[in-house]
Amino acid sequence: VAIWLNTWRYLESVMSTDQTGNNQGTMNRSTCSEKSEARCPVDHGGGNKSSASKQGESGGCPVNHGTNSKYKHPHVYNVYSERIDPNNQMSANPNQEPAPGQKEPLSTHRVTSSIPKGGTDGTWTYPSPQMFYNALARKGKVSDVSERDVDTVVAIHNNMNERTWRQLLQWESCKSCPNPTLLRFMGKPNHLTPKAWIKSKLGYGTPFDRHDWIVDRCGQEVRYVIDYYHDESGVADDKVPGLHDTSSIKSIKVDVRPALDSFESFVDRARNLFSSTGTSLDPVHSSDGQPDPPSDDDIRQVVRSRCGSALLQFAKSADDPESRSKAAMALNYCMGTVVCQQESSKFMADLETSSGDPLPSYQKLVDCLERCSALKALFNPEATGENSPK
């Protein structure tokens, strides 16, 4: 796994389309309930728990998936996100010869993915171990990996892409396009997303890699952002995975979500954030059947549970103004997901869009938090204000 962390991105440079038109393993998109992994992550119940429950029991998605089943994107892209002529693509049999100085033979077998390739009737095809090693040799990186480890590295890479696509399909499962495809992708290992930065301040660490995937949603191009995290606690339980294995790799966590490039993606992200964040505030019903607002104690309990790491980081940053400012921003965002959901969503949206200015929305988030009496007891009531996050 340690080798995998150092060599992940080189595989992307040799991934190409399957020339056979094989589309094995692609999920049937006719219903949301075809597979449990494909269920929509967004709560469409509008706060009505009984409605959401009935919908979950029936397994149905509130969107008609029966249209656009034969759509095909007019353009095809290579692994460098460059548009290519589908009739003049790279050879289906690229260089599979041993690299200069290679001491041990490597497999030339290429695995067909289940990820449909945009603009074609086929799927993406993963590089063979030999192609992977040749790519490392071209980049002068063969010292980063032992020849005996290449098969394992390639297996992990392929498995992670399948896991990523499976999570992406959860978002796509409640859209009207029955057969989304992966049009192009790019690695951005040195570009930390705002969400990843905030999560790092909440104690999750930084991702070891980031990808942007462009999905063709029956003519609509939708960008997804994927962060890959290393979890040291899972290393001891790691095993070499099969292509569609979901449990062998414990040390890599995948965070897939639509980029905030459109209002639709913003709504999806906001709904998902507040329907799947784990600890939640359940309303208490009074005698007349109307829900009562949660008590201050309830709010503080949820904040301590969800934002414990951020509270600790804020407390530890007292002697460093710059660190304290960043820790305060992370803590305020975390608390906002509990008590100021609209303001925290707008702040995150402005952070993740190049055209957005996050400062006004951040100030509105802070103003909202300051109006919440439940949060005041989390900090020293005798404090002058500099001990509270701003």
**pLDDT, tens digit (0-9, with 9 covering 90-100), for 340-376:** 888 888 888 777 765 667 778 888 888 888 888 788 7
The DSSP code sequence of 79-131 is TTS-EE-TTS---SS---SPPTT--S------PEEEEEBTTSSSEEEPPPHHH
Pick the more confident residue, 282 or 99.
99
Torsion angles phi and psi, residue 165, rounded to 5: -65, -40
pLDDT digits (tens, 9 = 90+) for 60-82: 443 444 444 566 666 666 555 55
Pick the more confident residue, 3 or 252.
252
Between the alpha carbon of residue 322 and those of residues 191, 302, 310, 317, the distances in Å are 21, 27, 15, 9
Q: Note whether 366 and 335 are within 8 A (CB).
A: no
Residues 6+ apart with CB under 8 A from 351: 194, 195, 358
Tokens of 188: 């951005």
pLDDT at res. 137: 87
What's the CA angle centered on 78, arms 73 and 80, to 5 degrees? 125
Return the minimum-mean-pLDDT range out of 106-120, 142-156, 161-175, 275-289.
Answer: 275-289
Q: Is residue 59 predicted with pLDDT exceeding 90?
A: no
Between the alpha carbon of residue 228 and those of residues 193, 194, 205, 277, 310, the distances in Å are 12, 14, 11, 19, 21
pLDDT at res. 26: 31
- The pLDDT of 207-226, averaged and rounded, is 93
Pick the more confident residue, 169 or 35.
169
Between the alpha carbon of residue 291 and those of residues 53, 280, 323, 342, the distances in Å are 18, 15, 40, 20
**260-272 per-residue burial string, b: 16 or more CB within 10 A, e: under 16:** bbeeebbebbbbb
- The pLDDT of 101-107, averaged and rounded, is 90
Ordered alpha helix ranges (H), 284-357 = 296-306, 308-316, 321-339, 341-352
pLDDT at res. 163: 94
**Greatest CA separation for the chain:** 80
Show the beta-strand stretches assigned E in the chain: 16-17, 76-77, 83-84, 112-116, 123-125, 181-187, 209-217, 220-230, 252-258, 284-285, 291-292
Most confident of 21-30, 232-241, 265-274, 324-333: 232-241
Torsion angles phi and psi, residue 205, rounded to 5: 80, 175
Q: Is residue 197 predicted with pLDDT exceeding 70?
A: yes
- The pLDDT of 281-300, averaged and rounded, is 60
